Amino acid sequence: MIEIMTSGSVCPALRAAVDASVSWYDALCALHGVPCGIEDDVWCAYAPPPPLHSNAKTVEPGTQLDRILAAIPAEGGIADSFGEFDLTGEGYRLLFEARWIHRPAPVESLRQLPTGWEPVRTKSELRAWTSRHDTESVLTPGLLHRSAFRVLGRRDGDGYGAGVVLHLGTGTVSLSNVWSTSAGLDWTELVSAAAAVFPGRALVGYERGDGLEGALAAGFTARDRSGSGSAEPGRDHRELEPGRRSR
C-alpha cells in the first residue's frame, strides 16, 4: 500500500509518483514555453500554465497554506498532491480527486507492443489521437520530438480507440492521459506497452473511477482514503479550481 510514513516524509512509492508528476509539469511547461520553478516546497508556473494544468503543485507534505496561495494569481488552480487542504474558505472548489498509483517494474518484457497498439509518430496521427481525447491544445506536435515521451494509440478502424502517454523519469515511467472509447480498458495492456517501450522501470500515475479499478486489477497499488487504515491527510491527489476568490 502507498502510505505516508510521517508528517514530513513519504514512502518511496508515493515519493516516486509525486516526483514523476512534478517532472511531467516541468516538461509540459517547457513544451509550451512557460517558465516554472519550486519555491518553499511548491512547484509553480511563472506564466499561465498549459491548458488543463494547475498554476501550483505541492511537492512536499505539510506545506504551509499561505505559501501555496502566495505562489499563484487569484484565478490560479492548485494541485494538492497530498490531499491536505480545505480551501473552500478561500473560494476554491474541488475539481476532482484521484489516488496515486504505483506498480513495480514488470519482471519480464517481450519488448513488443500489445496487439493493436502502436506509437503515434506524425502530426496527423497526433491530431487524430488528441481529437478523441480533447487535448489538442495540450499535447502539441513538439511532444513527438522529446525523447522522454511516447504517445501510444490502439487502432480502431481508421482511427484510435484508446491511448496513453508514457513519460520516462528517473527509474519510473508515468502513465497519463489514459483514455478509451469503450468501457473496460485492459490495464494489463498498458503495463505491457510501458514495459515494451521503457523496460525495467516502476510504473506510476494517478487515477480515479474505472481507471483506478483497472489499474488495481493490473497490479498497481494505492492507498484509499475511505478504505482500511488511517484516514489522516496525505493519501490523495486533488485538483482545485478557483470559484470566487479575492485577495
**The pLDDT of residue 215 is above 50:** yes
- Identify the band that residue 4 occupies on the pLDDT scale cut at 50, 70 and 90: very low
pTM over 0.75: yes
Q: Considering only residues 66 and 232, tell me which one the structure prediction assigns the higher pLDDT.
A: 66
Give the mean model confidence (pLDDT) for residues 13-18.
92
Joined grid coordinates for residue 8: 514530513
Ranges of each domain in the chain: 4-99+226-242, 103-217
Joined grid coordinates for residue 41: 516546497
How confident is the model at residue 86, as a pLDDT? Answer: 86
Q: How far apart are CA 34 and CA 56, in angstroms?
A: 13
- Residue 25: CB atoms within 10 A of its CB come to 21
Q: Are 194 and 175 in contact (CB under 8 A)?
A: yes
Q: Does the domain at residues 103-217 carry the CATH identifier 3.90.1560.10?
A: no
Q: Are 203 and 105 in contact (CB under 8 A)?
A: yes
Give the mean model confidence (pLDDT) for residues 156-174.
95
Mean pLDDT of the chain: 88
**The pLDDT of residue 229 is above 50:** no
